Amino acid sequence: GKRNMDALSEEEKKLFPLKTVKSVISLFESILKRTAEPDLALLSIIVGCIENTLTCNQQIVSGAKSTVLTATADETSEKHFAVPPVRKEDDFPEIEWPIVEALYIKFRAIIKSSVDLTQYGCPEFATRELVKKVSDVIWNTLTRSYYKDRAHLQSLYSYLTGNKLDCFGVALAVVAGCQVLGFDDVHLALSEDHAWVIFGLNGKETAEVTWHGKGNEDKRGQPVDAGIQARSWLYVSGNPVVCSRFTEVASLVSSINPSITATTDSLEVASLQQSLLWVLYDTSHLTRYPMALGNLADLEELSPSPGRCHCGQLFSQAIEVARRCYNNSHVYPYTYQGGYFYRNRMYKEALESWANAADAIRSYNYSREDEEIYKEFLEIANELIPFVMKVEGSGHSARSILKDSECFAHLLRFYDGICQWEEGSCTPVLHIGWAKPLVNTISKFDSQVRRHVVISCSEMAEEDTPAMKLPEGKAEFHRENLDANANQVVLPWPLTKEQEKEERLVDCYVGGKT
Ligand SMILES: CC1(C)CN=C(N2CCN(c3ncnc4sc(CCF)cc34)CC2)S1
């Protein structure tokens, strides 16, 4: 029969007006089941409409209409403990199909009327010029100047009703625009703080389509090779999440932002995002998307879904994926997990996660556009770890982490990762502001633990000694108060970059096992 040219099937249209999370879930499930090319513009408009209606036109009213779960949070507890955001329970807005359809038609009209495909030779695969043209169409229809970091600017609903997009939103809009033009080879590539597109035969080409950060000239139209060669974290050494249409749906769901104010979330929007992420998880579209897994884990920590795995397993799964599929070049899976341990006062585990995060950053060169991860490590080193030292300060109990040599090892590995990150970079990382908390933290550890500090350095020439000098010669960590046949923890000191390149073999063993 006639191919249904509509974006939705008849029964999907019957789900409108959307009034509940359940109806949106049913809609997404139906679309994900029926097509290999879910329509990004349509889905972004729908979730954007719900999010913006529930978070942007808010008056916090008291009384029957809205129940506000209050959580008292003074400054310290706010920063250091899992203080659930204040959440408002409010009615789901009625999302009418004609409104959504009108915006969807508007987006298609903007794209089709602005790009004359005959000018590009109606190619089978997208070309750099065509991708750049779609980026220009979005770019030139944005409001001249607005606060780019504001929340709720990531969806096509924001673009179509307010001509505003954040940097991720521009990249998603370009991919959605190329989908409207019929180029199913154009896909989103996601690093931990930037987005670009891949296109062409075998997805071999890359192109910048949006800006990054503040005060950086945009590189739209250029390939991303330079960023990869520069070893900057922003380009994750060429290990981005390369999306399919389904992982692009996962990215627009993951970018849903439930916040109404800095301390208030919309319960409905958070619940919608959590349920949609589970739909994508169950259809295996989060399998290679560590940040979406971390996002889902955070939501599960706040509001565990009955019958689902514990959030800790999702954090671990994200780390496994980052190690297996992305050459351990992603940092956020470890800081997601470290943040979870920290909020739940599991400080030894947190130190290990943060040391693992430092191991992930160590082979990068710090570049000027890597500020986001710099701020992440700065907060861990100068706020979170000092707080751990303070609360563990008593240290009188034999089980205090200040007497635990493995904790001290994690701490040293954390700082050394940052030192090696700085090594060979044009931009310095550490400065005097880091030194005071570092000295304060290291000196908090029991002298018995420090006295036995032993770092086994890989066989390296003098000039390769790591930036942070430690007592010369061999030694090993003695785990205090261990049973008679105590193992020793000997950590091979990581190779410098030069040595990593030479791939010199280094004996490494822990607890006597080789
Ligand atoms: C451990 C954390 C500080 C907690 N939240 C974090 N993020 C929140 C969610 N983030 C994300 N979540 C899903 N997908 C993406 S794609 C992308 C790069 C810009 F396009 C960022 C990002 C970014 C990282 S890292």
- pLDDT of 28 reads 98
Q: How far apart are CA 122 and CA 94, in angstroms?
A: 41
372 burial level (CB within 10 Å; 0-12, 13-18, 19+) = middle
Q: How far apart are CA 347 and CA 336, in angstroms?
A: 14
Q: Which atom of ligand 1 is nearest to the CA of 191?
A: 18
Contact 220, 139 (CB under 8 A): yes
pLDDT tens per residue across span 261-304 = 999 999 999 999 999 999 999 999 999 999 999 999 999 999 99
Three-class DSSP category at 261: strand
pLDDT > 60? residue 509: no
Section 167-187 average pLDDT: 98
- pLDDT of 512 reads 28
- As a dihedral over the C-alpha atoms of residue 463, residue 468, residue 472, residue 476, rounded to 10 degrees, the angle is -130
Mean pLDDT (the chain) is 86
- The separation between the first and the last C-alpha atoms of the chain, rounded to the nearest angstrom, is 67
Between the CA of 187 and the centroid of ligand 1 the distance, in Å, is 18
Q: Which atom of ligand 1 is nearest to the CA of 251?
A: 14
- Interhelix angle 267-282/40-55, rounded to 10 degrees, is 150
- pLDDT of 67 reads 34
Between the CA of 277 and the centroid of ligand 1 the distance, in Å, is 14
Between the CA of 332 and the centroid of ligand 1 the distance, in Å, is 8
Between the CA of 446 and the centroid of ligand 1 the distance, in Å, is 37
pLDDT band at 97 (very low <50, low <70, confident <90, very high): very high
- pLDDT of 64 reads 37
User: Per mean pLDDT, which range of 129-133, 315-319, 322-326, 485-489 is the poorest?
Assistant: 485-489
Kindly report the protein residue whose alpha carbon is nearest to atom 16 of ligand 1: 190
Between the CA of 514 and the centroid of ligand 1 the distance, in Å, is 37
AA letter at 301: E
Between the CA of 285 and the centroid of ligand 1 the distance, in Å, is 17
pLDDT tens per residue across span 292-329 = 999 999 999 999 999 999 999 999 999 999 999 999 99
**Backbone region of residue 183 per phi and psi (left: phi > 0; alpha: psi in -120 to 50; beta: other values):** beta
Q: Strand 241-242 and strand 187-190: pairing?
A: antiparallel
- As a dihedral over the C-alpha atoms of residue 389, residue 390, residue 391, residue 397, rounded to 10 degrees, the angle is 70
pLDDT band at 92 (very low <50, low <70, confident <90, very high): confident
Between the CA of 193 and the centroid of ligand 1 the distance, in Å, is 7
Write the CA distances from 472 to 121, 375, 398, 454, 475, integer angstroms: 67, 32, 29, 9, 9
Q: How far apart are CA 133 and CA 125, in angstroms?
A: 15
Kindly report the protein residue whose alpha carbon is nearest to atom 12 of ligand 1: 291
Show the ligand 1 pocket: residues with CB < 6 angstroms.
168, 190, 193-195, 251, 254, 291-292, 295, 332, 335-336, 339
Beta strands in 255-395 (DSSP E): 259-261, 264-266
pLDDT band at 93 (very low <50, low <70, confident <90, very high): confident
From 192, 224, 281, mutation site for ligand 1 pocket: most ligand atoms within 8 A of C-beta: 192
